[in-house]
Structure 1
Amino acid sequence: MFHITEIKKNQSPITFDKKLDIKELLLNRDDSIIDVKDVRAKGQISYEDNLFLLNYDLDYLIVLPSSRSMEPVELTEHILVSEVFSEDKEVSSDEAISEELVLPIESDTISLEDSVVDNILLNIPLKVLTKKEEETDELPSGESWSVLTEEQYQSQKLQKKKDTNPFNALEGLFDDN
C-alpha cells in the first residue's frame, strides 16, 4: 500500500520488491483458481505531471483446472504491468478514464495488492492443458457424447446438411455411363 503524500514527496521513484500473500483475495474473486504461490512484484511507483505511475514485473505460480479434464495444471507466469492513476477530478472525468487508460484514485492510497490481483485475473488463460493433453489432439468423450473442435463441428454440420439434402437421390442420374 502506497500513500499518495509519500509518493508526491519523493523526487525519485519509490522502488519495491514484495512477496505477496494474496491467495484468499484471488479465491474470493475467482473460485476456479485452485492455488496461487510465490507471488512477487518488483518495480517502482512515481509521481509526474499530476499522474501516479506504477510499473512492475509480476511473477507467480498459479494452479488452474485443465480446460479438458479438470486436472490441476501449474503455470509459471511473468507479466509486465504499467498502470497510471490520477486523483485529479478533471482528468477523472476525461475520456482517458472511460477508456481505462487512467485509473481514478478513490482514497489516499494506491494498493499494490489490488493491482496484482486484478492483473492476475485479467491474465488467466482460457485454454489450460496438462502436458499429456498438449501432446495429443484427443478430446474427451463418453458413451453418447464427445467434445469437438470448431473445425470438426463445422465438418460434421456440412456432412449432415449433405445427408439431408432431398436432391441426393438424383445424384448420378444423368451421368454419361
Structure 2
Amino acid sequence: MTLRFPIDQLQKYQRKAIQIDETLMPETSLKQRYPQLIGASAFQVTGTLQAEGEGWRSRLQVSGQLTVPSTRSLAPVALPLDLRIDELYLDQELAVAELEEDEATPTESNEDIIIPIVNGEIDLASAIEDNLLLAIPTQIYTPAEAAGEALPTGEGWEVLSEADFAAAAAAQANQPNPEFAKLKLLLDQQAQATDQPDDQEDESKE
C-alpha cells in the first residue's frame, strides 16, 4: 500500500477506515527541503484514513529518527521523533472556505488542521514530511553541550554560546576605549601647558 491515495479510488471505501502500516524513507526528499539535515532513518507510519463529513481524516502515528547539526558546534545530533498527526483533507474550495470561517470566528471547535486536496489525491507522505520538519527544534545541542561542558577551541579561535557572546559584547561595550583615554590625557596636558604661562605672568606682575 502507498501513502498517496487518489480520491477516485478512495470512493470505493465509502465509510470504511483504511488501515495504514507503512515504512517511509524520507531522507532524500527531506534533504532537498532542509539541506542542513545530516540523515534520516526509516519512519514507521501506522494509523487510519477515513471519510469524515465532506472530506477525509488521517490519524497517524509516525516514529523514527533524524540526524541534525548542533546549532552550537554543527556536530551531529540524533533527534528521535514520535509524532501523532491528525489532519482533515478537504476539496480545495471547501478547505479555503473552512479556513476563512475559522479565521473569522476562532473557537476551540475549529482547531482542525485542514489540508487542501491537490491534484485529486491525498498525499500523506508529503504531509508527514511537513510535520517532521516542523518538529525540528530551533536550538539543538549534543548531550555534552546540553550538560554545559566546555565548548571546542583551537589556535586563535573558540566557540561561544549565545549567552557567553552576549556577555562578552556587553563587557566590551562598557570597557573604556584606550585610544580615547590617551586622547583625553593629551588634551589635559595641553590644557595645563596653556594655563601655565598665564600663572607665571601673574606672579611676575606681583
TM-score band (shorter)? 0.7 to 0.9
CA pair 112-88 structure 1, distance change in 2 beyond 3 A: closer
Q: How many Å apart are 1:81 and its aligned residue?
A: 0.9
Of residues 30, 52, 57 in structure 2, which corresponds to 1:53? 57
The letter for the 1-side match of 2:32 is: N
- Cα deviation for residue 28 of structure 1 reads 1.5
Secondary structure (helix, strand or coil) at the match of 1:92 reads: helix
Counterpart-to-counterpart distance in 2, 1:97 and 1:77: 33
Q: Which moved more, 1:21-30 or 1:36-45?
A: 21-30
Paired position in structure 2 for 1:10: 14
Q: Are the counterparts in 2 of residues 97 and 103 from structure 1 also a CA contact under 8 Å?
A: no
Give the deviation of 1:162 after TM superposition: 3.5
Q: Does 1:164 align with 2:168?
A: no
How far has the Cα of 1:79 moved from its partner? Answer: 0.8
Taking only aligned residues, the RMSD between alpha carbons, in angstroms, comes to 2.9
Q: Identify the structure with the greater helix proportion.
A: 2
Q: What CA distance in whole angstroms lies between the structure 2 residues aligned with 1:64 and 1:26?
A: 12
Larger Rg: 2
Q: How many angstroms apart in 1 are the aligned matches of 2:120 and 2:172?
A: 63
Give a deviation string over 1:28-69, Cα, whole Å, max 9, x none.
Answer: 211211111121111111111112211101101111122222
Question: Are the structure 2 counterparts of residues 96 and 84 from structure 1 closer, same or farther at C-alpha, using a change threshold of 3 Å?
Answer: farther
Task: Tell me if structure 2 keeps the 8 A contact 1:12–1:46.
Answer: yes
Letter in 2 for 1:3: P
Kept in 1: contact 2:70–2:142 (CA 8 A): yes
Q: What is the number of residues matched between the two proteins?
A: 167
After TM superposition, which residue ranges in structure 1, 4 or more long, deviate above 6 angstroms?
97-100
Structure 1, unaligned stretches of length 5 or more? 167-177
Counterpart check, 1:66 vs 2:70: yes
Tell me if structure 2 keeps the 8 A contact 1:50–1:88: no
Matches of 2:101 and 2:19, distance apart in 1? 26
> In the alignment, residue 132 of structure 2 is paired with which amino acid?
I
1:1-177 correspondence to structure 2 within 5 Å:
1-8=4-11, 9-87=13-91, 89-96=93-100, 101-164=113-176
Percent of aligned pairs sharing the same letter: 24
Distance 2:101 2:7 in 1: 19
Q: How many angstroms apart in 2 are the aligned matches of 1:154 and 1:70?
A: 20
Q: Secondary structure at the match of 1:102?
A: strand
Q: Which runs of 5+ in 2 are unaligned?
A: 104-111, 181-206
1:26, distance to aligned residue in structure 2 (A): 1.2
